[in-house]
């Protein structure tokens, strides 16, 4: 391995993963820049962990190429790739002390005990756990275990650190704090971090690049801002949250604006990036939830908004700094307006009231792809709930 | 490093790891069983086995009244032993899993139950003799308490003592698998049942028993195999009054009459296997074990 | 209404507790009779009453002429037990790992093992004896006897390995690989240390199952008898409490072995300081920072 090439840029080309006739991951292409923080985001079963493990080398792709730096690592063993993985369960060796856990990789390489100990202490100091060097993993809290796992991964000076849902096992407060620590660590070290998560908020808070995946495909790989503000298709829009999805028929195309006729017959003016959809084709649009105003009286005249839909208030949910108002606009999907608490409590709405939701053209976006047949309840979050009382399943719980 | 040859090397290594077990089982179990089957079809003359094929051994065995008597007797013992060990084993396991708090205490009490199992079966069996005999401790105690005026005869060297010994020796084989199966049950299921209004007994019947059926099946397989295949318990504890299938077979072996003994072995094995298969049909043990 | 933490115990607890105590009494009671009777005085008989206490019958054991081949049988039993323990651990551990990875025909091997376990011991013994005879080999305690015992201990070992390996998290081995451990290093530094308590358990099973094994061994031990066989012969023709003394001694040996194994396991676990409740540590961690 070329030691002068310290680049941790990861390039995934045409990678797929098949188990028998089940395809877990369809041909993927992905480029991750050296020294960036990348989050693989998606619901359970979307393939994000598989992809991570293939980059790590714990699983082999069925087809395709993976390179790190400019080295093809597809057939290389995990320890030869310059990667280090942090497992979801941390996988700290229960029979070794914290220091021995951290120094493990060095022991495997045959380094002397004094050197190992010193280096381990260095890293433990970095994660603020020096005082716990001689404790055992079972004596540490979740947050502490995670930091030991990180220290253990970093001791080999990897170019890429792979984290498999590192924050899932922690409770809310700890999660937010550890998030910041991870980001800071990555900035300090300047190496590539690839982090798998199913939490949208976590992904957009941490990542330079967010890769949204569903069912073995990459829906969109872009900066957090782009994913949130300009989702590419309905899957991304729904999963990231913060956007409503409306289906309709294309009536006309005027430059960078598209006229869409909604299911209820309303005319909507939607911004379209540069696409030229066919007249008469079915299309979908995203509308930012926090850029919607809710009116009791239909505004008209010169200050009439670009887009209006009417309906009854279905639900109101208080969220502290904002209030979620769900309105039934007969689009077949949930339509939510997020009002700041000041806005809402100025003239509070009531469930059942008839209101008009309005937004400007620039706050909506035409999405790629046609709506699915029977666009009704879209659940991009797949639920695999095993029936609790099926005996075999329960008996298998250890 | 080629991924395909790596995989091939791995599967070869895996086969090698399993090889010693397979070798021992095939050579010292598979082959001997084949030998027994072969010998059962052989003719014999005094102590010598003649390599001629004959059904005589089986014919004699199946036509004989003694055989039927022995089988019925053994099956009777087996059924009683099975029922009692199941009832006791289940109750003990239930107590340990659901009523004892703290894993350490649970494990300690579990150990307390299993340790006798690790001492010689023969010793444990004969330890009942001074206890149950006419001059034994039990009779003395009852007489001292004034409960009885004459020593109880049926306690020893009877069907009662045989079944008692079986229960004493083999209940553990019920407790362990049932304990293991029960320990895996999510306790919240019981709470959910109670919330839904189930009485304690209903909860046991509807939730606990179905979820521990692997343990019950395993325990039953053990107990049935052990009691049907026993020969020293019946011999000693019945005082020679009853015999068991295996005891009769043992006599034939002692008389160097191997072919009939072999035929007897094959028939008994078939019967035991039928029991086991019936149990396995109800519960798929392998899936539960390996997962 | 949701069930709250019950501090008072239901009546069923006491009923079951009583049942449990009776059960334990039932298990240990008769044996205690033997222990007591083995201290029977010189003129005492096989049953109560005790005519004073003495070590007479233990002494009788030591004197060779009164108890036949007992010393040699004892030595053979111990050797077989140790051999069984070692072989059982090694073979079942290897096989257990093979099953974990999965291989062709693993189903058949599983059923073969279970059959070997379930088959009445006397048949296995018969089969091995006949096979040896057919091949013109002499049955001996350390070949055919050991082999017969292995057909009994190995399946048990295998089942225990299933339980142990089922609980073994795959991520430990993956983490080790990730950190640069070769296959052998993984086994030596990670897998084996983690399952060590379990392996001690397997060895313990191998030892005690072999030490007390009777039906399989009786037909395959040849002329070199083991302790259980000697005890069996004694039950039919010994008319003194020497039999009880033997029972006590052999039980004590079993107990010592079990105790050693348990102490070893407890010490290993304690060294790794397994604590059940980490929630206290969580809140403390938050407060500190």
Poorest-pLDDT segment among A155-159, A263-267, A388-392: A388-392
Poorest-pLDDT segment among A343-357, A373-387, B193-207, C58-72: A373-387
Task: Give backbone dihedrals phi and psi of A3, rounded to 5 degrees, phi first.
Answer: -75, -15
Q: How far apart are CA C38 and CA C241, in angstroms?
A: 6
Q: How far apart are CA A13 and CA C171, in angstroms?
A: 27
pLDDT of A2 > 60? The answer is no
Cα distance from B25 to chain C (closest Cα, Å)? Answer: 6
Mean local confidence (pLDDT), A203-218: 94
Report pLDDT digits (tens) over A56-100.
Answer: 999 999 999 999 998 999 999 998 999 999 999 999 999 999 999
Mean local confidence (pLDDT), A126-142: 91
pLDDT given at position A210:
96
> If pLDDT is split at 50, 70 and 90, which confidence band does A189 have?
very high
Poorest-pLDDT segment among B150-154, C41-45, C82-86, C242-246: C41-45
A272 is written with which tokens? 């379209």
CB-CB under 8 Å, A397 with B211: no
CB-CB under 8 Å, A398 with B288: no
pLDDT given at position C66:
55
**What number of other Cβ atoms are within 10 A of residue B201's Cβ?**
9
pLDDT of C103 > 90? The answer is no
- Which chain B residue's Cα is nearest to C9? B99
Mean local confidence (pLDDT), A226-253: 90
> If pLDDT is split at 50, 70 and 90, which confidence band does C224 have?
confident
pLDDT given at position C46:
67
pLDDT given at position C48:
65
- Is B174 in contact with B219 (CB distance < 8 Å)? yes
Question: Does pTM surpass 0.90?
Answer: no
Between B1, B189, B287, which is nearest A392 by CB? Answer: B287
- Is A120 in contact with A155 (CB distance < 8 Å)? yes
At residue B137, the 3 state secondary structure works out as helix
| Cα angle: B86, vertex B88, B91; to 5 degrees | 100
Which residues in chain A are classed under CATH 3.40.50.300? 10-228
Mean pLDDT score of chain A, rounded to an integer?
Answer: 87
| Cα angle: C205, vertex C210, C214; to 5 degrees | 130
pLDDT given at position A391:
44
pLDDT given at position C44:
65
pLDDT of A363 > 60? The answer is yes
End-to-end Cα spacing for chain A = 42
Q: How far apart are CA C265 and CA C199, in angstroms?
A: 10
Q: How far apart are CA C99 and CA C161, in angstroms?
A: 10
Q: Give burial (CB, 10 Å; 0-12/13-18/19+) of A80.
A: middle
Q: Give burial (CB, 10 Å; 0-12/13-18/19+) of B91.
A: middle
- Is A333 in contact with A244 (CB distance < 8 Å)? yes
> If pLDDT is split at 50, 70 and 90, which confidence band does B23 have?
very high
CB-CB under 8 Å, C175 with A141: no
Measured between CB atoms, does A387 come within 8 Å of chain B? Answer: no
pLDDT of B61 > 90? The answer is no
Mean pLDDT score of chain B, rounded to an integer?
Answer: 84
pLDDT of C61 > 80? The answer is no
Residues of A in contact with B288 (CB under 8 A): 392, 395-396
CA C46 vs. chain centroid, Å, equals: 30
pLDDT given at position A398:
39
pLDDT given at position A395:
42
Mean local confidence (pLDDT), B266-277: 87
Measured between CB atoms, does A176 come within 8 Å of chain C? Answer: no
CB-CB under 8 Å, B1 with A395: no
**For A10-228, which CATH class?**
alpha beta
In the block, residue with structure tokens 């390995």: C161
A218 is written with which tokens? 């990459």
Report pLDDT digits (tens) over A275-323.
Answer: 788 888 888 999 999 999 998 988 777 777 888 888 999 999 999 999 9
CB-CB under 8 Å, C37 with B14: no
pLDDT given at position C54:
74
Q: Which of B13-17, C89-93, C237-241 has the highest mean pLDDT?
A: C89-93
Report pLDDT digits (tens) over B238-263.
Answer: 877 777 888 888 888 888 888 888 88
Q: How far apart are CA C192 and CA C172, in angstroms?
A: 11
B164 is written with which tokens? 């008692």
**What number of other Cβ atoms are within 10 A of residue A257's Cβ?**
16
Report pLDDT digits (tens) over C249-288.
Answer: 888 888 888 889 889 988 888 877 654 434 444 444 444 4
A18 is written with which tokens? 């098949």
pLDDT of B206 > 50? The answer is yes
> If pLDDT is split at 50, 70 and 90, which confidence band does A383 have?
very low
Which residues in chain A are classed under CATH 2.40.50.100? 230-293+305-367
User: Which has more confidence, C39 or B25?
Assistant: B25
CB-CB under 8 Å, A75 with B287: no
Using an 8 Å CB-CB cutoff, list residues of chain B that contact chain A.
1-3, 181, 184-186, 189, 210-211, 213-214, 287-288, 291
Query: H helices within chain B, ranges in order?
Result: 3-25, 31-40, 56-63, 65-94, 103-114, 121-126, 129-132, 137-145, 159-183, 187-195, 200-203, 209-211, 213-228, 232-237, 245-254, 258-282, 285-290
pLDDT given at position A379:
36
CA atoms within 13 A on the CB side of A41: 33
pLDDT given at position C283:
44
pLDDT of C111 > 90? The answer is no
Could you tell me what percent of chain A has a pLDDT over 70?
92
Residues 6 or more apart whose Cβ sits within 8 Å of residue A92 = A98, A101, A137, A145, A148, A149, A152
Bond prior to A316 in cis (omega within 30° of 0) = no
pLDDT of A384 > 80? The answer is no
At residue B242, the 3 state secondary structure works out as coil
Measured between CB atoms, does A300 come within 8 Å of chain B? Answer: no
Mean local confidence (pLDDT), B143-165: 80
| Cα angle: A393, vertex A395, A398; to 5 degrees | 105
Measured between CB atoms, does A187 come within 8 Å of chain C? Answer: no
Report pLDDT digits (tens) over A324-335.
Answer: 999 998 877 889
Superfamily, domain B64-290: MetI-like (1.10.3720.10)
User: Which has more confidence, C158 or B254?
Assistant: C158
CB-CB under 8 Å, A93 with C169: no
Residues 6 or more apart whose Cβ sits within 8 Å of residue A110 = none
Distances (CA, A) of B249 to B163, B208, C165: 21, 41, 40
| Cα angle: A8, vertex A10, A15; to 5 degrees | 155
Cα distance from A71 to chain B (closest Cα, Å)? Answer: 15
Q: How far apart are CA A249 and CA B52, in angstroms?
A: 89
pLDDT of C68 > 90? The answer is no
Architecture of domain A230-293+305-367: Beta Barrel (2.40)
Q: How far apart are CA B85 and CA B219, in angstroms?
A: 9
Between A95, A140, A152, which is nearest C193 by CB? Answer: A95
pLDDT given at position C88:
96
Residues of A in contact with C285 (CB under 8 A): 141, 143-144
pLDDT given at position C47:
66
Task: Give backbone dihedrals phi and psi of A331, rounded to 5 degrees, phi first.
Answer: -95, 0
Strands of A71-72's sheet in order across: A22-32, A10-19, A63-68, A71-72
pLDDT of C49 > 60? The answer is yes
pLDDT given at position C288:
46
Could you tell me what percent of chain A has a pLDDT over 90?
62
DSSP state of A167: T
pLDDT given at position B47:
67
Between B28, B112, B137, which is nearest C150 by CB? Answer: B28
For CA atoms A329, A331, A334, A335, the dihedral sign is negative
pLDDT given at position B285:
64
Strands A257-262 and A243-254: antiparallel
- Is B221 in contact with B279 (CB distance < 8 Å)? yes
pLDDT of A51 > 90? The answer is yes
Cα distance from B94 to chain A (closest Cα, Å)? Answer: 16
DSSP state of A352: T
Closest residue by Cα to residue B106 from B94, B92, B96: B96
Buried b (16+ CB within 10 A) or exposed e, B244-257: bbbbbbbebbeeeb
């Amino acid at each position: 391995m070329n030691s002068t090439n310290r680049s941790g840029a990861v390039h995934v080309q045409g990678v797929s993963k098949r188990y028998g006739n089940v395809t877990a991951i369809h041909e993927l292409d992905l480029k991750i820049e050296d020294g960036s923080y990348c989050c693989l985001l998606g619901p359970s079963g979307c393939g994000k962990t598989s992809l991570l493990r293939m980059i790590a080398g714990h699983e082999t792709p069925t087809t395709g190429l993976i390179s790190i730096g400019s080295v093809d690592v597809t057939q290389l063993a995990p320890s030869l790739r310059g990667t280090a993985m942090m497992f979801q369960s941390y996988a700290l060796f229960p029979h070794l002390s914290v220091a021995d856990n951290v120094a493990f990789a060095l022991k495997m390489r045959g380094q002397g005990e004094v050197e190992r100990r010193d280096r381990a202490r260095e890293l433990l100091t970095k994660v603020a756990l020096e005082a716990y060097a001689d404790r055992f993993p079972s004596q540490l809290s979740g947050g502490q275990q995670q930091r030991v796992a990180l220290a253990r991964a970093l001791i080999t000076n990897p170019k890429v650190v792979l984290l498999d849902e590192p924050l899932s096992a922690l409770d809310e407060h700890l999660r937010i704090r550890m998030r910041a620590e991870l980001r800071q660590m990555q900035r300090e070290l300047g190496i590539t971090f690839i982090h798998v998560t199913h939490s949208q908020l976590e992904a957009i808070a941490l990542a330079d690049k967010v890769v949204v995946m569903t069912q073995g495909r990459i829906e969109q790989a872009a900066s957090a801002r782009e994913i949130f503000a300009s989702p590419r298709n309905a899957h991304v829009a729904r999963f990231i949250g913060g956007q409503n999805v409306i289906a309709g028929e294309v009536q006309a195309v005027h430059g960078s604006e598209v006229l869409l006729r909604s299911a209820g017959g309303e005319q909507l003016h939607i911004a379209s990036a540069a696409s030229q959809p066919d007249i008469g084709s079915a299309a979908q649009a995203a509308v930012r939830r926090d850029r919607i105003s809710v009116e009791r009286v239909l505004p008209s005249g010169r200050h009439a908004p670009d887009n209006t839909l009417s309906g009854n208030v279905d639900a109101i949910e208080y969220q502290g700094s904002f209030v979620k108002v769900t309105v039934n606009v007969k689009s077949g999907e949930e339509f939510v307006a997020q009002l700041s608490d000041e806005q809402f409590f100025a003239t509070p709405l009531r469930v059942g009231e008839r209101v008009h939701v309005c937004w400007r053209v620039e706050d909506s976006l035409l999405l790629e792809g046609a709506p699915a047949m029977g666009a009704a309840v879209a659940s991009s979050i797949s639920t695999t709930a095993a029936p609790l009382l099926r005996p075999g399943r329960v008996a298998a719980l250890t | 490093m080629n991924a395909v040859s790596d995989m091939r090397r791995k599967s070869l290594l895996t086969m090698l790891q399993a090889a010693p077990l397979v070798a021992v089982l095939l050579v010292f179990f598979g082959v001997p069983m084949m030998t027994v089957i072969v010998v059962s079809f052989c003719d014999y003359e005094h102590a010598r086995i003649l390599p001629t094929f004959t059904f005589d051994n089986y014919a004699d065995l199946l036509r004989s009244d003694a055989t039927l008597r022995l089988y019925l007797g053994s099956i009777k013992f087996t059924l009683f032993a099975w029922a009692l060990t199941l009832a006791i084993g289940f109750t003990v396991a239930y107590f340990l899993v659901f009523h004892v708090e703290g894993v350490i205490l649970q494990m300690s009490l579990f150990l307390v139950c299993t340790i006798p199992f690790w001492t010689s079966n023969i010793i444990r069996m004969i330890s009942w003799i001074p206890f149950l005999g006419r001059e034994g401790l039990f009779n003395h105690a009852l007489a001292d308490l004034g409960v009885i005026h004459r020593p109880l005869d049926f306690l020893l060297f009877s069907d009662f003592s045989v079944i008692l010994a079986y229960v004493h020796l083999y209940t553990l084989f019920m407790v362990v698998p049932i304990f293991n199966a029960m320990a895996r049950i999510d306790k919240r299921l019981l709470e959910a049942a109670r919330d839904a209004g189930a009485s304690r007994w209903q909860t046991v019947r509807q939730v606990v028993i179905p979820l521990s059926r692997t343990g019950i099946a395993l325990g039953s397989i053990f107990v049935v195999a052990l009691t049907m295949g026993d020969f020293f318990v019946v011999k000693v504890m019945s005082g020679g009054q009853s015999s068991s299938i295996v005891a009769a077979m043992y006599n034939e072996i002692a008389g160097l009459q191997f072919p009939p003994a072999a035929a007897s072995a094959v028939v008994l094995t078939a019967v035991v296997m039928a029991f086991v298969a019936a149990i396995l049909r109800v519960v798929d043990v392998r899936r539960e074990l390996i997962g | 209404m949701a069930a709250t933490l019950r501090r008072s115990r239901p009546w069923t607890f006491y009923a079951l507790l009583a049942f449990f105590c009776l059960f334990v009494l039932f298990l240990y009671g008769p044996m205690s009779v033997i222990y007591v009777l083995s201290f029977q005085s010189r003129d005492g008989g096989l049953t109560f009453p005790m005519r004073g206490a003495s070590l007479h019958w233990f002494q009788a054991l030591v004197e060779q002429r009164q108890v036949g081949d007992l010393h040699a049988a004892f030595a053979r039993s111990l050797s077989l037990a140790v051999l069984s323990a070692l072989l059982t651990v090694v073979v079942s551990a290897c096989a257990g790992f093979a099953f974990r990875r999965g291989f062709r025909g693993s189903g058949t091997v599983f059923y073969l093992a279970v059959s070997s376990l379930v088959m009445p011991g006397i048949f296995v013994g018969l089969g091995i004896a006949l096979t040896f005879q057919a091949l013109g080999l002499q049955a001996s305690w350390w070949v055919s006897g050991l082999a017969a015992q292995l057909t009994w201990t190995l399946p048990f070992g295998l089942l225990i390995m299933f339980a142990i390996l089922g609980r073994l998290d795959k991520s430990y081995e993956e983490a080790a690989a990730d950190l640069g451990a070769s296959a052998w290093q993984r086994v030596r530094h990670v897998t084996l240390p983690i399952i060590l308590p379990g392996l001690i358990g397997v060895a313990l099973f191998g030892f005690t199952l072999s030490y007390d094994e009777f039906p399989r061994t009786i037909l395959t031990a040849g002329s070199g008898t083991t302790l259980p066989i000697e005890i069996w012969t004694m039950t039919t023709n010994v008319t003194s409490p020497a039999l009880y003394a033997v029972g006590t001694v052999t039980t004590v040996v079993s107990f010592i072995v079990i105790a050693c194994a348990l102490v070893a396991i407890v010490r290993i676990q304690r060294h790794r300081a397994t604590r059940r409740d980490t929630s206290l540590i969580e809140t403390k961690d938050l407060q500190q920072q």
